[in-house]
Chain A
C-alpha cells in the first residue's frame, strides 16, 4: 500500500507545479532565483575557506576533511533535532491522518508514509544549505562529477538515519504517554535541545580549531586532525566514504557506504515492525485534548475597557492574544530559541578580538545593524506571523465591527514592547561589553529603539500584505515568499540606516582623533533629515500596503 501513498504525493507535487502560472510562476521563479543567489554567495565563501585550508602546508588536506566531518556532524545533529520537533506533527497530527486511518490501509504503511515525510521536511533545507560546501569541496579537491553522485547517494541513508531518531522518539513517547499534552512537551524539549546545541557549539569557540596557534603542541594538533570526529556516528561514515572516493579506494568506499545503508535499512525494518504495535495506540491517544479548567474572572483589560470605552476593542483583542499566546506551547518553544540566539549574540560580541578603544566604539556603531538583524529575525518568528496566525478564526474579526487598521494596531501593541525590550537589551549590553563612548552609546541606543518600532511595524505590515490563514505552523510562514521579502526589506532598511548615520559618526571620530572643527552642521542636518525620511517611509509604506491588502482580502 505504501507505493499508492507515495504516488499520491508525486501527483500532488505535479499538480502544484502545473498550477504555477502567471504571477504565481513569476513569484516562485523570483524566489528561486534569489535563493540560488544566496547559495552562490555561500559557495563563494566556502570555496575561499576551503581553498585557504587546502593551501596550508602539510596539513591542508587533513584540515578540509576534518572540517567536512564537523559540518556533517552538525548537519546530522540538526536533522535529529528537527525530526524530533516535526515528527510529532507529521506522524500524529497531519490533516489527512483521519482520512488515511479510515481507509483500508495497514497502519504500518501509513506510518512509513508519514515517516518519510518527516525525514524530508526535517532535512531538505539543511541538505540544500550544505550543498554549496560540498560543491566547493569537490572543486578544491579536483574531483569529478561522480563525487557529487556518490554524495547524493550517501545522503539518502544519512538523513534517514538522522530522521529515525525523531521518528523513534515520537513513536515511543506517544506509545507510553498517549496524550496531546505530549506534543507540547516535545515541542518544548525540541526547542530546548536546539537552543542547547546552538549555545554549546558557539561557547566551545570552534574558531579556535581553525587556528593552529591556539594549541600548544603541534603534534597534538595533527593528532586531533587525524582522529575521527564521532566515529560511531553516520556523519563519520559519510566522511570516510567521501575520503575513500577522493582517494580512489573503492573497497573502503563500498565498506563505509555499506555500513551506512545497512544500518539505515535495518533501522527502518525495525521501525516498520514496531509501527504495527505502537502506532495506533499513540494516534488514538493524540485525538484527545488535554484537560483545562479556566476561571470565570473579569480581566484587567476588561475593567479598563469598561472605564474607557474607546479602548475597548483594542483591549479585547489584546487580552484574547495574551491568553492565547500564554497557552500555546509553540510560542514558548520559540522564545527558548530566541533566548539562545541572544545569548550567542552577546557571547560573540564579548569574544571579538578588539584592542583599541576607537575600534571598539566604531564596532559599537556598526553593531546597530547586527542587533537590528537579530531583531528582524525575531520579528520573522513573532511579528510577521501575527496576522496569519489568526488562522481559520479570522472570519470572527473580519465580520466584527472592527477596522482592519484597529486589528493591525492591536497586533503591533502585542509585539512592540518585547521588540523594544530586546533591542534595548542587545544594544546596551553590547555597548557595555565593547566599552563604547557616550556619543556612540546614546546614538546607537536611540537608533535601535527607533529601528525596533519600524521593524515591528514592517513585520505587521508585511504580515498583512502576505497573509496566509491556512498554515499549519509558524515555520511555513517564515520560509514563505512574504517572510523572505520582509527580511530582505528589513536588511535594506538597516543598511540604509547605518549608512545615513555614518556621516555624523565619521565627524565624531574625526573629533576623537583631534581634528579641528570636524562638525559640519549642514551635513548633520542633512543626515537627520534623511534619517527621519527613511524611518517615515519604512514605517508608512508597509503599514499602508498591509491595511489596504488586508481590507481587500476575502475569506
Chain B
C-alpha cells in the first residue's frame, strides 16, 4: 500500500506539490497524470526517499518513508524517467548487484536472473558493459531488476519511454501480473491511452494540486463538456 498525506514540497517560493493526499491499495495500478512541471516526478521522488517533503508524510507498505526509510525502501522498487545505471558494469553484474543490495538469496538470483534477461531479450547483451546499452535496453534491464526483488510497492516514472512496441506490450502484461501478486503500483505517465486501458484508478495533478482522482470511468464523468469521450479529453479540459 502507498499512502500520501497532505504532502507539500516547495523549492524556494515555488510550490511543486501542494497538500497532496491519496492512497493506492495493494493490487491497484494507479496512473498519476499531469502536464509537464505539474509535480508528478517530485511526488514519486519523495515516495522513493530520494527527496524529502517540506511537510506532510508518505508511507510505503506501512512504513513511513521519513521515519523508517530502510524498511520502506526494502519493500519498494523505483524506476526513474532517465535510466541511469553504472556504465562499467555488465547487464548480468547489474542484476547481481541489485539482487545483493535487496538481499535476494544467491541461489534465487542464479535461478531467476537468466529467465528475466531472456524475457526482455537481453541475454545476448548481458555480458556487455551498460555504457553500450541503448536507452530502451537500460529501461528493460531496470524493469527486469524490479521483478527480481518482488517488491510490495512499485513506483514508475514514465516507464515506457524508449521501449519498443513489443516491450511495451510485454511491460503492460507484467504490470498487471505485478498488481495481481498484490503489489501497489504508482505510475506517472503521459500516455493517456495506456493509463485508460491499464490503470484501475487515475489521478490528475495540476500545478502541484490533485484536481481529480477515481476510476477512469469516474474521472470521465467529472466533466460535463459535450463530446467528451476519452481520458485525453478530460485531461485536456481539466488542465487547460
Contacts and interface: CB of A to CB of B under 8 A. Distances in A.
Contacts of B71: 401
B127 A293 contact: yes
B120 interface: no
Given A399-B73, A552-B52, A392 B84 contact: yes
Interface in B3-36: none
B216 to A, nearest CB: 29
B106 A399 contact: no
Given A289-B132, A306-B106, A320 B84 contact: no
B70 A295 contact: no
B52 A401 contact: no
A512 interface: no
A296 B89 CA distance: 12
B85 A396 contact: yes
B82 A313 contact: no
B132 A400 contact: no
Contact of B86 (A305, A312, A324, A554): A324
A553 to B, nearest CB: 9
Contacts of A306: 105-106
B128 A316 contact: no
A323 B103 contact: no
Interface stretch (B92-100, B176-184, B220-228): B92-100
A315 B71 CA distance: 20
B188 to A, nearest CB: 15
Given A324-B86, A554-B52, A312 B128 contact: no
Which bracket fits the contact residues of A?
35 or more
Given A313-B101, A395-B80, A399-B78, A327 B50 contact: no
A522 interface: no
A395 B157 CA distance: 13
Interface in B74-88: 74, 78, 80, 82, 84-88
Interface string A443-478: 000000000000000000000000000000000000
Contacts of A554: 45, 50-52
A401 B102 contact: yes
Contacts of B45: 554-555
A403 interface: yes
A305 B102 CA distance: 12
A414 to B, nearest CB: 14
A353 B128 CA distance: 55
B103 A312 contact: yes
A406 B228 CA distance: 53
B90 interface: yes
Given A398-B50, A399-B50, A296 B92 contact: yes
Given A399-B48, A401-B73, A305 B128 contact: no
Nearest to B76: A399
Nearest to B85: A393
B49 A294 contact: no
B128 A294 contact: yes
Given A554-B51, A555-B45, A400 B127 contact: no
Contacts of B69: 401
A23 interface: no
Contacts of A555: 45, 50-51
Nearest to B78: A399
A339 interface: no
B129 interface: yes
Contacts of B92: 294, 296
B69 to A, nearest CB: 8
B196 interface: no
Contacts of A144: none
Nearest to B52: A554
A367 to B, nearest CB: 38
Interface in A285-323: 288-296, 298, 302, 305-306, 309, 312-313, 315-316, 320, 323
Contacts of A520: none
B84 A395 contact: yes
Given A289-B132, A398-B50, A316 B100 contact: yes
A312 B129 CA distance: 23
Given A392-B82, A396-B85, A402 B129 contact: no
A254 to B, nearest CB: 52
B97 A292 contact: no
Interface string A377-407: 0000000000000011101101111110000
Contacts of B232: none
A302 B128 CA distance: 20
Contact of A401 (B51, B87, B97, B101): B101
A547 to B, nearest CB: 14
Contacts of B84: 391-393, 395-396
B103 A327 contact: no
Given A290-B132, A323-B89, A395-B78, 6 more contacts: A294-B93, A313-B100, A313-B101, A316-B101, A324-B89, A396-B85
15 contacts: A290-B132, A306-B106, A312-B100, A320-B97, A323-B88, A323-B93, A392-B84, A396-B86, A398-B49, A399-B50, A399-B78, A401-B70, A401-B71, A554-B50, A555-B51
Q: Across the A-B interface, give the 10 residue pairs with the lowest CB-CB distance, nearest first.
A: A289-B132, A294-B90, A392-B84, A316-B100, A401-B73, A401-B74, A324-B88, A398-B50, A327-B88, A294-B127
